[in-house]
A and B are shown apart, each in its own frame.
Chain A
C-alpha cells in the first residue's frame, strides 16, 4: 500500500510540477523581452561594434520566431548548457557550479540556525501564552521580520570583524581548504541571514502550537492529568511539524533571495554577487542562468517539503 501511494504521489507531482517548471523556464526566457527596444542593441551596451550586436543577435537567435528561440534555448538548458557570459565569454553553467556551494553553505547555515533557535523559542512562548516571556519574545520576533538583514550584517562586521577581529570581514574559503576556516567565514553571514528566519519560524510556530494546544483532544488529555509540556512533546509535535516544514519551504525561498545582498556585504563569491554584477552590466545570459538555477532549487525544495508533509500527515495525500 505505501509503495502504491508513493508511486501515485510521484506521478501526481510530476503532472503538477511539470507545467510549473516549464512555465518557469518560459518566464526566465521571456525576461529578455522586458528589455526595452531592440534587445541586441541594449544588451551590447554603449559603444558596441556592429559585429558585437550581430553576435548577440545570433547568440539569442533574435531574428527567428519567438517559439523557435524558446524551444532552442530550452533544448540547450535541458543539456545543462546556459550559454556564455557576454562579458567574460565563460560558460555560465560552469561559473554557477563553481559559485553555488558558497551560497548554499550560507543559506544552509542560516536555515539551521533559524530552526535551532526558532523552534524552542516558539515552544517556550506557546507553553506560557500571555506571559512576559511570550510577549517579549514575540515583540523581538516582530523586529526580526522588519530588520534589513544586510544592515545587521554590516553591524556584525563592524563589531565582530573590524572591532574584535573574531571573524573575517570578507571572503569565503571552500570546505576543501579546511572545515574550521570555512566555518569561520560563514558564521557572520549566516547569523545576519538567520535573524529573519528565527523570527519567521518563531512567529509562525507560536501560532501553530497555540492552535494545536487549543484542540479538543488536548483538553481531554489535560483532564487525564497530563502536563502541557508532555502533551506538546507527545501529541502536538506531529501536528506542528507540517507547519514547520511549510515554513522551512517558504524560508528557503526567502533566504535564497536575501543571501544575495549578504554576499555583497561580505564579498562572498556566490551566485548572488554574480547576478547583481550581471544585472548592472547587462550580462543577460548570466542573469537568466542564476534566476533559472534558484527557481529550480526552490521548486525542488517545495517538492521535498510536500512529500514529507504527506508522509507525516496521510490526510493531505488523499486530497
Chain B
C-alpha cells in the first residue's frame, strides 16, 4: 500500500501520512523533493548567502578560474559566478512557475468547458488545441515573445500560452471520463448549475493527472526559459538567469570554458528533479487508481 490519495480524501493527517509513506518507498521522489526544497530555500535566501552582488563588476577579477575568493570563478565582467548562480535560482524558478501558471489558468477552464459542454463547443476547441499543438513549441514561443516584446515576463507568458493546449487537452479528456457518471447526473438533478458541477464535481477528478503534467511542464519551462534567455529573448542584462549565464559563458568559451558548467549543471539537475518527481507521481497515482504495474 504505497499509493497516495487514490480516492479524493480531504487533505489532512491521512494524506500527509500517505505522502510520507510514498516518499519512504520511492527514493527518486524523495531525492527530487529534497533537492527542490533545498533549491527553494537557497533561492529565497539568495541575498543572505550569496557572497557578492550578482551584478557588481570587478575589472581586476575578470574570467578567473575557481579560487578562494571566487569559488566558481568570475565571468567576463568580473562578476562572481557563484553569486550569479544563486541569484539566478529565484529568477529561473519564478520564470518556470509563471509559465506553468499561465498555462494552467488558460488551459484548465478551456478544457473543462470543452469536455463538459461537448457538441460544437468541444469540436471547435479541439480543433484549436490540435492546431496549436502542431506548432513546434519554441518556434511559437519566439514568435509570441517577438510580438509581445522581449523580456522575461513576456517570454514566460508566451511559454504559458503554448502550454495551455496541453492542459486543455488533458482536462478535457478527464472531464469526458466522468461527465456521465451517476454522481454528476445526481448533482444535475438536484439543480446544480453547470458552473458548480464543473468546479465542484468534475474538476477534482482532473487534479491528479494535471498535477503530474504540471510537474513535467515545470521542467520544460525551465529548459525553455534557459533557451530563450540564451538567445537574448528572455531576461535582459545585467540580471542573471541560468540561461543568460550560459550566453555569457558561450561568448568567452575559447578563454574560460569552465564557466559553462555551473549554470548548465544547475539547469540539468533542476529539470531532472522536476521530471523525476513527475514520473514518480505518475507511477504512484497509477498504482493507486487501477493497481496496474506502473511502467518506468
Partner-B contacts on A (CB < 8 A) = 19-20, 23-24, 27-28, 31-32, 34-36, 42, 138, 142-143, 145-148, 150-151, 154-155, 157-158, 162, 203, 206-207, 210-211, 253-254, 256-258, 260-261, 264-265, 275-276, 278-280, 282, 284, 287-288, 290-291, 294-295, 298-299, 302
Residues on B with C-beta less than 8 A from A151 are 226, 246, 260, 264, 267-268
What 10 A-B pairs have minimum CB-CB distances, sorted nearest first?
A: A279-B146, A257-B138, A257-B136, A146-B271, A34-B147, A151-B264, A146-B272, A23-B131, A158-B257, A256-B136
| CB closest chain-A residue, reference B157 | A34
B250 touches A (CB below 8 Å): yes
Excluding A154-B260, A279-B143, 18 further A-B contacts by CB distance (< 8 Å) are A20-B134, A23-B128, A146-B268, A148-B246, A148-B267, A151-B226, A154-B250, A155-B264, A203-B296, A253-B137, A260-B227, A261-B227, A276-B232, A279-B142, A280-B146, A280-B232, A291-B140, A299-B134
| Complexed CA–CA distance, A274 and B239 (Å) | 26
| CB closest chain-B residue, reference A37 | B149
Given A148-B227, A279-B145, residue A142 in contact with residue B275 (CB < 8 A): yes
| Complexed CA–CA distance, A261 and B249 (Å) | 15
B135 touches A (CB below 8 Å): yes
Residues on A with C-beta less than 8 A from B130 are 20
Given A155-B260, A298-B134, residue A260 in contact with residue B231 (CB < 8 A): yes
Residues on B with C-beta less than 8 A from A148 are 223, 226-227, 246, 264, 267-268, 271
Find residues 143-179 in chain B having any chain A CB closer than 8 Å to their own CB: 143-150
Residues on B with C-beta less than 8 A from A279 are 142-143, 145-146, 150, 233
Q: List 14 A-B contacts (CB under 8 A).
A: A24-B135, A35-B148, A146-B268, A146-B274, A147-B268, A148-B267, A154-B260, A253-B136, A258-B138, A260-B227, A276-B233, A279-B150, A288-B143, A298-B136
Residues on B with C-beta less than 8 A from A145 are 275
Residues on B with C-beta less than 8 A from A302 are 134
Residues on B with C-beta less than 8 A from A203 are 296
Specify which of A32, A154, A291, A294 is in contact with B253 (CB 8 Å cutoff): A154
| CB closest chain-A residue, reference B274 | A146
Residues on B with C-beta less than 8 A from A143 are 268, 272
Q: Helix, strand, loop or mixed for chain B's interface? A: helix
B230 touches A (CB below 8 Å): yes
B9 touches A (CB below 8 Å): no
Specify which of B127, B148, B260, B275 is in contact with A23 (CB 8 Å cutoff): B127
B144 touches A280 (CB 8 A): no
B58 → A minimal CB distance (Å): 25
| Complexed CA–CA distance, A20 and B134 (Å) | 9
B128 touches A265 (CB 8 A): no
A24 → B minimal CB distance (Å): 5
A215 → B minimal CB distance (Å): 14
Interface centre among A142, A148, A162, A264 (most CB of B within 10 A): A148
Find residues 235-255 in chain B having any chain A CB closer than 8 Å to their own CB: 246, 249-250, 253-254
B235 → A minimal CB distance (Å): 14
| Complexed CA–CA distance, A150 and B253 (Å) | 13
A210 touches B127 (CB 8 A): no
A206 touches B134 (CB 8 A): no
Given A20-B127, A146-B219, residue A284 in contact with residue B134 (CB < 8 A): no
Residues on A with C-beta less than 8 A from B227 are 148, 150, 258, 260-261
| CB closest chain-A residue, reference B242 | A148
Find residues 100-135 in chain B having any chain A CB closer than 8 Å to their own CB: 127-128, 130-132, 134-135
A257 touches B139 (CB 8 A): yes
Specify which of B140, B253, B267, B274 is in contact with A162 (CB 8 Å cutoff): B253
| Complexed CA–CA distance, A169 and B149 (Å) | 31
| Complexed CA–CA distance, A260 and B254 (Å) | 22
A154 touches B264 (CB 8 A): yes
A261 touches B138 (CB 8 A): yes
B279 touches A (CB below 8 Å): yes
A19 touches B146 (CB 8 A): no
A254 touches B275 (CB 8 A): no
Given A32-B147, A150-B227, A280-B233, residue A158 in contact with residue B139 (CB < 8 A): no
Given A258-B138, A264-B231, residue A275 in contact with residue B143 (CB < 8 A): yes
Residues on A with C-beta less than 8 A from B219 are 146
Residues on A with C-beta less than 8 A from B127 are 19-20, 23
| Complexed CA–CA distance, A276 and B145 (Å) | 10
B295 touches A (CB below 8 Å): yes
| Complexed CA–CA distance, A280 and B226 (Å) | 16
| CB closest chain-A residue, reference B127 | A19
Specify which of A142, A150, A206 is in contact with B230 (CB 8 Å cutoff): A150
B211 → A minimal CB distance (Å): 19
Residues on A with C-beta less than 8 A from B275 are 142, 145-146
Residues on A with C-beta less than 8 A from B138 are 257-258, 260-261
B99 touches A (CB below 8 Å): no
Given A31-B147, A148-B227, residue A254 in contact with residue B296 (CB < 8 A): no
B276 touches A (CB below 8 Å): yes
B230 touches A294 (CB 8 A): no
